[in-house]
Each structure stands twice: as structure tokens, then as C-alpha cells.
Amino acid sequence: PSRLPPSQVEHGQGSDSGANHRDREGAGGEAFPARSVALGLEEKYCDAALRVEGKVFKAHRLVLAAGSDFLAAQFEHPEMTRDAAAPLELPEMPAAAFAAALEYLYEGGCALPDEDLLVPLLQVAHRLQILPLVDAAAAAVTKRLSPENCLGAWQLGELLSLPALEAAAVEK
């Protein structure tokens, strides 16, 4: 499986996506202490639930809010502060890609069991505003550009406002 470490792709080989977000601290991409990761994997002391494609993921609000600007804003919403037990619905998002993004938030990297999850992961990272994961996934897409997929990559770069991905796709 492919592994996306923070800001790099597969064993430290990758390129900057051009959207230099690394100066924004606390936006994911850094592993939490091992014990915190273990508690998340064991679903202990979790205070957030997120429903994606009918599957409920339990997590810690601190981890989610620290790594995702979108989720931080959701937790500030009055409905979320009143009813913390109700799962936050995240429609139109593949559960497998969300699981990889959640792994990234906790561990600072994520393994993709299937190469076909790369683009959905980039879309999930963009939607949840996990900026270092956007950079890493865009770099991974750029690395895999070919004449057969460059049009789709260009469209994706344009849709997600990733100029480096657009430019790399045009060059192919």
C-alpha cells in the first residue's frame, strides 16, 4: 500500500504541491504521542462521532479540530456544542478516504490500501481543510501523472484550486 507521510510521498520522495501551507501550524501532518494514537485506535475517551457513508467513526475533538479547520468550525457551531453525542454527518465522502484522513490526523501519515483512493483522499483532505494532507496527496497525484490521466488531474487541480497540480498536468 502507498503511504502518505506529512508533506512527502512514499519514503520521503515527493514534491511540493505549490500551495505552500506548511507555515500554518497545527493543521495536521504531525503525529500525536503514541499513547494518544493508541487511545484513538481503541476508541477510548472519544468525544466525537462522525458518520460517513453510514459508518460511525469515533475520535477525539482535540485531534480533529487541531488538524482540520473545517471540523474545528463545525465543533464551534451551537448545535454541536449542545449535542456532542450526535454524530456529525459528512455526506458525499467515501468512508475509506475519510478513514485514511483520520489516520493522517492521528499519526501524521496514512496508508492507502488501494491506489484508487488517492484522488478521493485529496478531495476529502481539501473538503476538511487538512492542508498538509492536501499538499501530500497533490504531490502523490503529480508524481503519478501520465498522458492518460493528465486531463483528469488538470480538472481536479482547477476544481480544488491547486495551481501546481494544474501546471504539472498541462506539462504532461
- The tens place of each residue's pLDDT in the chain, 172 residues long, gives 556 654 433 323 333 333 333 333 334 467 777 777 777 777 778 889 999 999 999 999 989 999 999 999 998 877 766 556 689 999 999 999 999 999 999 988 888 888 899 999 999 999 999 999 999 999 999 999 999 999 999 999 999 999 999 999 999 7
pTM of the model: 0.79
Beta-carbon contacts of residue 17 (< 8 Å; ≥ 6 apart): 134, 135, 136, 138, 139, 142, 162, 164, 165
Evaluate whether 133 touches 140 at the Cβ level (below 8 Å).
no
Residue 135: how many CB atoms within 10 A of its CB? 30
